[in-house]
Structure 1
Amino acid sequence: MGKKVNKSGKILIIDDNEDILRAGRLFLKRHFLQVDVEKNPENIPDLLNNENYDVILLDMNFTKDVSSGHEGFLWLDKILEIDPSAVVVMITAYGGIEMAVKTIKEGATDFVLKPWENEKLLATLSSAIKLKESRTELDELKIKQKQLTHDINKSFPEIIGQSPSMLKIFETISLVAKTDANILILGENGTGKELIAKAIHQQSNRSEEIFMSVDLGAVSETLFESELFGHVKGAFTDAKEDRPGRFETASGGSIFLDEIGNLSLPLQAKLLTVLQNRTVTRVGSNKQRTINIRLICATNMHLYDMVKEKTFRQDLLYRINTIEINLPPLRERIEDIPLLADHFLKFYNKKYNKTVRALSPALLKRMQKYHWPGNIRELQHAMERAVIMSQGSVLEPEQFFFSGAGGQKSPERSGDEISLEDYDLEKVEKILIRKVLQKHNGNISKAASELGLTRSSLYRRLEKYEL
């Protein structure tokens, strides 16, 4: 009785001898999940584009009375061109050490002689399957490590808040994080939707896996399928190699689809199919690949109104909103403003080597009356500018820039200041650069360092603003 072998492997045998194919399939199907056979090597590309094989058994010779192995090497090259990670075992009746060595050098994994011994063939295939599993795991690990490294390096400030609305959201996160329920986060721009999604992932059973963030508003219609579902080599002009999409890379972890309300109806339909079937098909392939993801979506748009207007699919909305989290705008959680301001003050003090100790009571009072149309993101940027511009240990209202959309009036300022009514980011930047240059007596290196810019970036701005 033969030893127990892997029962889940997929084997492809390519040989022009029908007796070999028949005998191989009859023997191997008792030990492996799937055994496909092919007499014509010209069909190899189609076979590989439609199935993932663990091992390919490839004959060395397909022309009668030829024993050079030349054809086998040509098809070996073709297979490895289609799938560089393919595991190929060469079979021939004309063996020898020299041929075996050349086969391995050309990229084959192993070499067996016809007529083969069943137990030896079984052992060879079992080893080859383990190699395939190792290669697959290594490829997946490389992709995930790259994403994890990117994820770690990306700045995710902690969620700050003690207002009743935020405490309720924290409670919801703790209740749903351990489940795999689909989450829909609703809120205005700048309210911190991605931070909430990240917190859900970090408290979930998938926390050791990838958190994949995808800004659907930045993915063009033409690249949607390639970006999210992947593509195979040659699927389009720039497809130089096989590449998994975001869903495949995130498999085992969580995927965050931001700005889902921006998707067109055709793209909504494609996304819905993937979510229903939990499979993706790479562009240029017919092969379905199973995915295992935790779905978190977000938008600043009113999806329920869009459903009524027939610009968002109702079935997709039902699919993504098992649990809804509504993030309040900053103007509705004013008790959190001092906490957030202090957090950003410490962050930018460290970043710009500043020693600002606090915000004055007058500034805090004004900040809590302000409307904050840009929410936390606007507060963060305002704090960054204020810290850069500060020359003392306490921030005062006159050192702070508020957007005119906030509906507040500004005191009279000098010609080198900016009024709230004509608030303009470029004007702010120009004033800021001028002040920092004056502070360092025109020293470009010191000014660039304080502004957080490279020398070349600062020179471009000087030219732009004619400073």
Structure 2
Amino acid sequence: MPKILIIDDDVDVLSAAKLLLKRHFGPVDIEKNPERIPFLVTNGAYDVILLDMNFQRDVSSGREGFLWLDRILDIDPQAAVILITAYGDVGMAVRAIKVGAADFVLKPWENDKLLATIEAALSAKGKGKGSEAGDSKNGRDKTTAAMPNSLLIGSSPAMRQVFDTIERVAETDANVLILGENGTGKDLVARAVHQRSHRRDKPYVSVDLGALSETLFESEIFGHVKGAFTDAREDRGGRFEEAQGGTIFLDEIGNITLPQQARLLTVLQQRQVTRLGSNKPKPIDVRLICATNAPIYERVADRSFRQDLLYRINTIEIQLPPLRERLDDIAVLAEHFLKQYRKQYNRKVTSISPALIRQLQQYRWPGNVRELQHAIERAVILAQGNILEPSDFYFGSAPAFGGIPNTQEMPHQHALQLDDMEKKMIQQAMQKHHGNITEIARELGLSRQALYRRLEKYGM
């Protein structure tokens, strides 16, 4: 059943909406405080989000609504967000849809119209009553070759094996280690395992360990008490406590230091955490999923990764194949991204030529699915016609096809060409939007954090 979140600072609106919607859809969560949006969206797996446009600080302009819409889409670019307001007009509605909202309704709403709006948003996601999302076979959606309720897409033997492993292990509490190159979708596998587990209604907390400095690791992961260090002005629980009862996903676990490994191992063995600066342990009940693109067994062999920790985290291993080893999936992935970005950018590109599909299948894709996704997005934005052709793809200063690198070329060369193109795309977007970071990130299909990393990378 579809799961819905309603965010509004009017308690009466929340109560009325929940009373109506729970009779027609699945679980309905309500929230008065918009500051909890990042936590709820990260952990809730909502099919539709109803978001008030005007909160106490900003009565009628809709500015807060657009701010929170932007935050939601940063966390989940596929989120179906319906904005609600008592002060709406046609111009605001058009602007909301252009920046990513699924639709727009006015308060007080007509019940039938609200239900129809939500049903339309669900259908667009493949979850409505009139969609084919429920018509699956062997756990796979017929039209997208994907796991139901997941962005994992593929019908190749390698991906079918991944899907089958997820289905078998999800309902257990076994620790899972996901191995694979950058861009293969390890985070999607982790979320799919959580969504199919008995913990699906509990928190899902994702932690990028590679982004945590040595000094922040313990505080972020295990929490701290007031006074534990200079800036510790209050008690704060860590990520393990946030995930209590649910799932914690530790990405890039192969990058943590030996002291960090020892601390993590102790927590996993004892099933309890002790906040930094405290001597009072707190019991934890979480399902652990880890991922790395590092050669973890080589790290164990050279003693840069603890063997006992590896044994603890890899009860089940899921190996994600690189895109070059699942060529049969390229066509369906390309079509999926074409539909996504055609709608997002309101473009009239309708299909991909057979010649382009053949060329896509000849490329090595060193950046894997993520690189294909960004390549399709750029092509949709820049395409001149209604059909994507080889000439619509650019790596560096020349068309990628037929100048496409063959399978013998060095991935490093491709990376340099892609970096050059990415830098030019960012420069063009910066000129177009006069340095507006939010608009630049939206056009490029990046989160603001990812855009900032690229600006720093290219010295811009």
Q: TM-score, normalised by structure 2?
A: 0.61
Alignment of 1:214-233 (within 5 A): 214-233=207-226
Alignment of 1:15-164 (within 5 A): 147-151=39-43, 152=45, 153=72, 154-155=75-76, 158-164=151-157
Identify the match of residue 386 of structure 1 among 379, 386, 396.
379
**Shift in Å, 1:401:** 2.6
Contact 1:261/1:299 (CA < 8 Å) preserved in 2? Answer: yes
Counterpart-to-counterpart distance in 2, 1:277 and 1:268: 14
Q: Aligned residue for 2:245? A: 252
Counterpart-to-counterpart distance in 1, 2:382 and 2:195: 36
| 3-state SS, counterpart of residue 318 of structure 2 | strand
Q: Aligned residue for 2:262? A: 269
Counterpart-to-counterpart distance in 2, 1:301 and 1:389: 35
Contact 2:183/2:367 (CA < 8 Å) preserved in 1? Answer: yes
Counterpart-to-counterpart distance in 1, 2:216 and 2:440: 39
Counterpart-to-counterpart distance in 1, 2:237 and 2:183: 30
Regions of 4+ moved over 4 Å: 141-146, 419-422, 426-429, 431-437, 442-446, 448-451
Aligned residues: 308
**CA spacing shift, 1:143–1:312, aligned 2, 3 Å:** farther
Matched residues, percent identical? 56
Identify the match of residue 206 of structure 1 among 199, 203, 208.
199
**CA spacing shift, 1:191–1:283, aligned 2, 3 Å:** same
Query: How big is each residue's C-alpha offset from its partner over 1:331-359, in whole Å with a ceiling of 9 and x where there is no partner?
Result: 00011101111111111111111110011
Q: Aligned residue for 2:183? A: 190
Counterpart-to-counterpart distance in 1, 2:441 and 2:292: 32
Identify the match of residue 232 of structure 2 among 231, 235, 239.
239
Q: Aligned residue for 1:286? A: 279
Deviates more, 1:425-434 or 1:155-164: 425-434
Q: Aligned residue for 2:363? A: 370
Contact 2:379/2:393 (CA < 8 Å) preserved in 1? Answer: yes
Q: Aligned residue for 1:423? A: 417
Q: Aligned residue for 2:165? A: 172
Query: How big is each residue's C-alpha offset from its partner over 1:369-422, in whole Å with a ceiling of 9 and x where there is no partner?
Result: 100000001011111111111121011111113479xx98628xxxxxxx9796
**CA spacing shift, 1:408–1:145, aligned 2, 3 Å:** closer
Counterpart-to-counterpart distance in 2, 1:168 and 1:309: 31
Counterpart-to-counterpart distance in 2, 1:242 and 1:224: 16
**Shift in Å, 1:148:** 2.4
Query: How big is each residue's C-alpha offset from its partner over 1:417-444, in whole Å with a ceiling of 9 and x where there is no partner?
Result: xx9796143544536865998xxxx896
Instruction: Flag the structure with larger Rg.
Output: 1
Identify unmatched segments of 5+ residues in structure 1.
1-140, 412-418
**Shift in Å, 1:149:** 2.6
**CA spacing shift, 1:204–1:355, aligned 2, 3 Å:** same
**Shift in Å, 1:147:** 1.8
Identify the match of residue 452 of structure 1 among 429, 438, 442.
442
Counterpart-to-counterpart distance in 2, 1:329 and 1:161: 12
**CA spacing shift, 1:294–1:144, aligned 2, 3 Å:** farther
Q: CA RMSD in A?
A: 3.6
| 3-state SS, counterpart of residue 267 of structure 2 | helix
Query: How big is each residue's C-alpha offset from its partner over 1:4-51, in whole Å with a ceiling of 9 and x where there is no partner?
Result: xxxxxxxxxxxxxxxxxxxxxxxxxxxxxxxxxxxxxxxxxxxxxxxx
| 3-state SS, counterpart of residue 214 of structure 2 | coil
Counterpart-to-counterpart distance in 1, 2:152 and 2:218: 33
Contact 1:370/1:408 (CA < 8 Å) preserved in 2? Answer: no
**CA spacing shift, 1:177–1:289, aligned 2, 3 Å:** same
Contact 2:345/2:381 (CA < 8 Å) preserved in 1? Answer: yes
Counterpart-to-counterpart distance in 2, 1:142 and 1:245: 21
Counterpart-to-counterpart distance in 2, 1:410 and 1:236: 56
Q: Aligned residue for 2:332? A: 339
Counterpart-to-counterpart distance in 1, 2:420 and 2:267: 43
